[in-house]
Amino acid sequence: MNQKEKVLLGMSGGVDSSVSAILLKEQGYEVVGVTMNLIGTNEKEREDAKKVCDQLGIQHYTLDETAEFKRRVIDPFVKCYEQCLTPNPCVECNRYLKFGKMYEFAQSLGIDKIATGHYARIEKDVETGEMVLKKSASLQKDQSYVLYAIPKELLSHILFPLEGYESKEEIREIAKKYQLPIAEKPDSQDICFIPDGDYASFLEKQMGKKAKKGKIVNQEGKILGIHKGLHHYTIGQRRGLGIANPVPLFVRGFREEKNELVVGEEAELYQSQFQVSDVNWLSDYKEKTLEVTVKVRYHAKEAKAKISKQGEKVIVDLYEPQKGITPGQSAVFYQKDQVIGGGKIERMKE
């Protein structure tokens, strides 16, 4: 490796990206930092990133991507909820902003490599010679699930300096060793542009209308209660239904044409087949069907499945039914620790 090879590092002002700068410098790279000004990014985060760069002798840029963030992340997020889907905005942010826009900016600076503080690995497959995305060595911190939508052609240009670390404590120790001002800074939680976690109020403000109450019904249409507005709920939700019932009830679907929330018992939440669209493949294969494990939520356990290509879409057949498969969320396909690809779970017909 050329000891003076440049890398553009995305810096959020947090511990992970700050320590990534240290590790990249130790590996011999000339590090350039960039902080994206997104909706939800506050002045303190930008200041923290700049302080770390100044302390480490790193050039720092700030990019205003608020308009692109609204177009690529917030507008689709609101539209999903309007369609009774449950989106994962981090996937879109990674695809279009933290990797897409950042790589464009790197190219404008004549830099070929970009890096982030994500926990994942990119390696060369010894058999095919292609670059592949894999789970992090730290499975508790693994973020490969939200990275599946990165364009395949970018993999050879991305570095993940934290991929070999097993715990956040190790990362904080490095920050303390270098006396970084953010060494004890807590991890960010929830969705960055809804820091108070009040999704409903945020959505109502974006949509310009108040939630419309409606009926809570079972599969047969029997009225069991009144809901606060469909966007308050997601598949599998149990809390907040306000229904007295001998057996616990969960959200199992929506009938938006009637403004009805459909609930059922836990057994009704299990599915063995679903369809995925907007698929991004990170590994080339020609077989029509493939044995994989599939993850249907960030914190879900992987489940064994067979996936079948059907045009631009994929049919997922699970070997054991899984609970609470949620339209709008991502289904990510793995073989061992390698990400094969993934896409968005579609609404199922009742």
Task: Determine the residue type at 74.
Answer: I
95 exposure class (CB count in 10 Å sphere: 0-12, 13-18, 19+)? buried
Task: Please identify which of the residues 53, 80, 84, 192 carries the catalytic annotation.
Answer: 192
Do the beta carbons of residue 69 and residue 93 sit within 8 Å?
A: yes
Nearest to 344 by CA among 69, 88, 44, 83: 88
Angle at 296 between CA 65 and CA 189, to 5 degrees: 45
Active site residue 84: no
What tokens does 12 get?
A: 């959020």
Active site residue 80: no
Do the beta carbons of residue 143 and residue 120 sit within 8 Å?
A: yes
Task: Please identify which of the residues 80, 84, 90, 93 carries the catalytic annotation.
Answer: 93
Active centre residues (catalytic)? 93, 192
